[in-house]
Structure 1
Amino acid sequence: MSDSSRDTAQGAGWGAAERGTYRRLMPARTEKLSWLDPRILWAARNGVLASWFGDPTGRTRSRWVARRAAAGAPADKLIRRDVPDRFSFMVIGDTGEGGDSQYAVVPGFLKVARDTEFAVIASDVVYPVGSADDYGRKFFRPYQDYPAPIYAIPGNHDWYEDLGAFMRVFCAEPRPLPQEPRPGPLTRAWWRSLLWHRARPADEQRLAEARRLRSAPEQQAVQPGPYWAIDAGPVRIVGIDTGLLGTIDAEQGAWLREMSLGPRPKILLTGSPLYVDGEHHPCPIDGGGTVDGIVRDPEHHYVAAIGGDIHNYQRYPVEVDGRTVQYVVAGGGGAFMHATHTIPRVSVGGVTERDFRCYPLRGDSLAFYSRLYGRRLRLPRLFGLTAAEATAVIAERLGIEPGRTPEPGVRITRRTRLVASLLGAGRRPERTARFRLPVRKIYTQLFSPSSTTHSPPFFKCFLRLDVGPGAVRLRCFAATGNRRQELDPPVEDEVVIPLPGPPN
């Protein structure tokens, strides 16, 4: 097995390396998506409008669910997969920008996934707004050689066109929902309706041609709706739709409570992670309660909760009533990289730095961003940090063990500390700074989306879960875009999750 980023800098993708073969999979012409383009920001405005004028997602979702029920979808939204007691499936989150960083994941993904029963895309299948015309390049083409079904749960970007394309592709809904009557003038709902981004008519021939790329019978699957459950072998996999703002409606909440009953071990897949960036986000349910309250209930037997939305990998093993629930962030499947070096020293839910895992390592994240902004600002000698320098300064600022063995002779200089501070490297909670830019929020909202690059290392990842009668083995594999990691994807994290036995 090849070195991981925890072993060597070369294992992380740094240094001279041969680019992978992924570009052979890409279309001849690839539009480069820029999150600094005002046209993209304007098209993706619905999340902001929902936060200002009220979120219509719950009502729209209920209409989709009602239509699926009328078409004969099972009321319990349960998919029953006839698999052995030992089987494997893939999870990959936040995939579809359609550029180098998405396609760089594909060769390693196909190699690791070749004997799996199915795959799940956890959040944001297609960027920027979930348009039907983008599914060819950003879904059907990259995964055309994956031989098994692909299920999905939508992310906020899939909702920017009211989930119409997602429902067509994954739920076989042939037409969009009819528009509701416009609300009374000058109300909040009226302003939202006036400014709301709506889908353009899809190019039907283009979509039909794209579908042929994944047209083999063994690749087909129709979901009962945007949220669903899969019974496979000894486990139940529960996928929820957290809409535009990271919440679920009362109708879905009632379904989730019902599907969580019983002794069968369960794994939650969600568009919004419950633990992320050193914080707890329990995910409210309209009408009361939270998703994490359901996960934590010992009567429901959840062993893991895996969420997308944030474009990296994180894992928090949280002790809950005498058992461990693995809370995982798995949104590194292709879109721009959210920084990990801005995560402060972890102390949340009883989880400390000793137990926390992330990919990319914080030092690699800082080195990535330092070089990026060195190029953007044309100040590479000031901003550019080597991976060794970034690893060392992160360890100093956070008071933690380095992510990998430090290289000999690395000095932490005033310049190194300045760059780390300017780029928002996490700081120990007990330290205070006289001056510090508010970069954590800005990184999430602006800097990270502008971090798209078109050359390795990309620091992308995907999960493989191997399920057996007594345990689930979860592994996070890296995809850097280099040939070395393409041929032999390194394992960046691994955990064996015990499954509870039958009740006495």
Structure 2
Amino acid sequence: MSDSSRDSLAGAGWESQKPGSYQELMPERVVNLSWLNPATLWKARNGPLASLFGDPTGRDRQRWVAGQVERGAAGADLAVERDDPDTFSFLLLGDTGEGDDPQYAVVPGLLKAGEGTRYAVLCSDVLYPVGSANEYGTKFFRPYRDYDAPIYPIPGNHDWYDGLTGFMRVFCRAPALPPAPRPRALGPSWWRTLLWARPDTPDDARLDEDRRMRSAPAQAASLPGPYWAMDSGPVRIIGIDTGLLGGIDREQGEWLRRVSRGPRPKILVTGSPIYVDGEHHPCAIEGGGTVDEIVRDPAHHYVAAIGGDIHNYQHYPVDVDGRRIEYVVSGGGGAFMHATHTIPRVAVGGVTEDAFRCYPMRGDSLAFYSRLYGRRLRLRRLFDLTPDEAAAALAERLGVEPTRVTGAPVTARTRFVAGLLGAPPRPHRKRRMRLPVRRVLTRLLSPGSATYSPPFFKSFLRLDVSPAAIRVRCFAATGLREHELDPPVEDDFTIALPGGA
């Protein structure tokens, strides 16, 4: 088995190695998505508009679901029908579709580690920047054309930037929604409608051509709607749609409570992770209550909640009244990398630093961003930190031992760069000037951090299910040939199922 990033620099992908073969999978011409381009930000304006003038997601989601039920494409429980044995495996990845090198670099290792899996679940943001149906060819069908099993996605906020039109046409074959009633003049809804980005009109001929890349009978999949429940072997997988702003409407909340009943062990898949970056985000339900209250209710038998949206891997094993629920972030499927070095020393939900896992490790994240800022600001001699220097600086600031052995000293320069790039402050030290590498970086500067040469620090999950337990492994995708042939395992844990032998 290949070394992981926790074992060596080579395992992280820092040492010079042979590049992978992923570029052979890519189309001849690729337009790299730039989140620093004002035109891209203008296309994705619906999220900020929803924050300012009200979020229409809940209303539109209800219209999509009602249309599916009325035309007989979905039942009341929005069930995905499957017939899986008690012992089987599946893949899970999130935040995939920018259509560039980092997305395609995930594919060879995913095919290797995914051998024998019965399907894949895609959690959050199938497509960037706005989920247009006319971009699914190079950002969904082509990358996964050799994965010979169904793929079941849930939408993320970027899939809602076109009103979910592309997602519903591709995965549910739903016709476009009729226009909503005109809002009252000069009210918040009127201003939102005035500025709102309209969805692209799907080119059905082009879409039919794209579908041929995943047209084998073994790849066939159909979704009842933007959220769904699937009984698979001994478990029930429930996918929810958290829309533009990370909440769910009253109707979906009632559905979630209904399909969560019963003794079958359950895994929640969500576009908005519940534990992320050392914080708890329980996910509000319109009208009262939260998604996490449903997950924690012992009568519902949830064993895990896995979310996308943040583009890295994080794992929080939370004790809930004597039961352990695994809260996971799995958003490293191909889009730009969100920093992990800004995550403070973990102390949330009873989870401490010793039990927390993330990928990339904080030191590798800091080294990545130090090189990015050094290049962008043309100050490489000041900013560039080696992975060992970055790991040592983060270990000092967090008060922990480095995960990967390093002999690098912590100097005034490494302390300065670590603090400036958003690393948590050292114990009992005040936070001084730093570049905006927390909230602003997450919203704007991280999207501009995409690079097109390894290491990429992408990831995906393989879950091996039996009546007694679920083994969960996080595999890395660096873009290097060695790791395509033998993907490194960055985390490996087992969930005991209630009533399992």
Matched residues in 1 for 2:424 and 2:91: separation? 31
- What is aligned with 2:122? 121
User: CA separation in 1, counterparts of 2:207 and 2:164?
Assistant: 16
Tell me the CA shift for residue 437 of structure 1: 4.5
Task: Note the residue ranges of structure 2 that are not aligned, 5 or more in a row.
Answer: none
- Map residues 309-328 of structure 1 onto 2, 5 A cutoff: 309-328=309-328
Alignment-derived partner of residue 104 in structure 2 = 103
* Closer, same or farther: CA 221–426 of 1 in aligned 2, 3 Å: same
Relative to structure 1, the CA distance from residue 447 to residue 429 in structure 2 (aligned partners, 3 Å threshold; closer, same or farther) is farther
The alignment of Structure 1 onto Structure 2 pairs a total of residues equal to 500
CA contact (8 A) 2:468 2:500 kept: no
1:51 aligns with 2:54: no
C-alpha deviation, 1:431, in angstroms: 3.2
The answer to whether the aligner puts 1:473 opposite 2:471 as a matched pair is yes
Aligned-pair distance for 1:438? 4.6
Shift of 1:380: 1.3
Question: Counterpart in 2 of 1:91?
Answer: 92
Among residues 431, 434, 452, which one is paired with 1:433 in the alignment?
431
Aligned to 2:385: 385
Shift of 1:243: 0.2
> CA RMSD for the aligned pairs?
1.2
Give 5+ residue unaligned stretches, structure 1: none
**Which position in structure 2 is the counterpart of 1:136?**
137
Measured in 1, the distance between the counterparts of 2:82 and 2:201 equals 35
Alpha-carbon separation, structure 2, partners of 1:159 and 1:433: 37
Question: Separation in 2 of the partners of 1:441 and 1:156?
Answer: 17
Partner-residue secondary structure (3-state), 1:144: coil
Tell me the distance in 2 between the aligned counterparts of 1:438 and 1:112: 37
Aligned ranges for residues 401-412 of structure 1 at < 5 Å?
401-406=401-406, 408=407, 410-412=408-410
Q: Is the 8 A contact 1:237 1:267 kept in 2?
A: yes
The residue that corresponds to 1:398 in the other structure is 398
* Partner residue, 1:186: 186
Q: Secondary structure at the match of 1:61?
A: helix
Aligned partners of 1:269 and 1:385: how far apart in 2? 36
Q: Say if 2:421 and 2:434, in contact at 8 Å, map to a contact too.
A: no
Q: Secondary structure at the match of 1:316?
A: strand
Q: Is the 8 A contact 1:360 1:459 kept in 2?
A: yes
Deviations 1:91-129 (A, max 9, x none): 010000000000000000011112111101100000000
TM-score computed with the length of structure 1 as normaliser: 0.98
- Contact 1:91–1:462 (Cα < 8 Å) also in 2: yes
- Indicate conservation of the 8 Å contact 1:362/1:403, yes or no: no
Q: How has the CA–CA distance of structure 1 residues 404 and 11 changed in structure 2, closer, same or farther, with 3 Å as cutoff?
A: same
Aligned partner letter, 1:344? P
Counterpart secondary structure, 1:252: helix
Secondary structure, counterpart of 1:337 in structure 2: coil
* Inter-CA distance 436–32: structure 2 relative to 1 (3 Å threshold): closer
* Distance in 1 (alpha carbons) for counterparts of 2:94 and 2:364: 21
3-state DSSP of counterpart to 2:116:
coil
**Of 431-440 and 57-66, the range deviating more from structure 2:** 431-440
One-letter amino acid matched to 1:466: D
Structure 1 pair 188–429 and aligned structure 2 pair: CA distance change class (3 A): farther
2:79 alignment partner AA? L
Letter in 1 for 2:453: S
Q: Is the 8 A contact 1:385 1:416 kept in 2?
A: yes
Tell me the secondary structure at the aligned position of residue 197 of structure 1: coil
Instruction: Find the counterpart in structure 1 of residue 484 from structure 2.
Output: 486
Q: Is the Cα–Cα contact under 8 Å of residues 277 and 344 in structure 1 kept in the other structure? A: yes
Secondary structure at the counterpart of residue 104 of structure 1: helix
| 2:467/2:500 contact within 8 Å kept | no
Is this contact kept in 2: 1:457–1:480, CA < 8 A? Answer: yes
Quote the offset at 1:221 in angstroms: 1.1
Equivalents in 2 of 1:492, 1:454: separation in Å?
A: 22
- Report the Cα distance in structure 1 between the residues aligned to 2:187 and 2:161, rounded to whole angstroms: 21
The answer for the alignment partner of 2:376 in structure 1 is 376
> Measured at CA, do residues 436 and 375 of structure 1 come closer, stay the same or move farther in structure 2, by a change above 3 Å?
closer
Which residue number in structure 2 is paired with residue 352 of structure 1? 352
Q: CA offsets per residue over residues 301-335 of structure 1, 9 Å max, x none? A: 00000000000000000000101000000000000
Q: Identity of aligned pairs, percent? A: 69
TM-score by length of 2: 0.98
Amino acid at match of 2:184: G
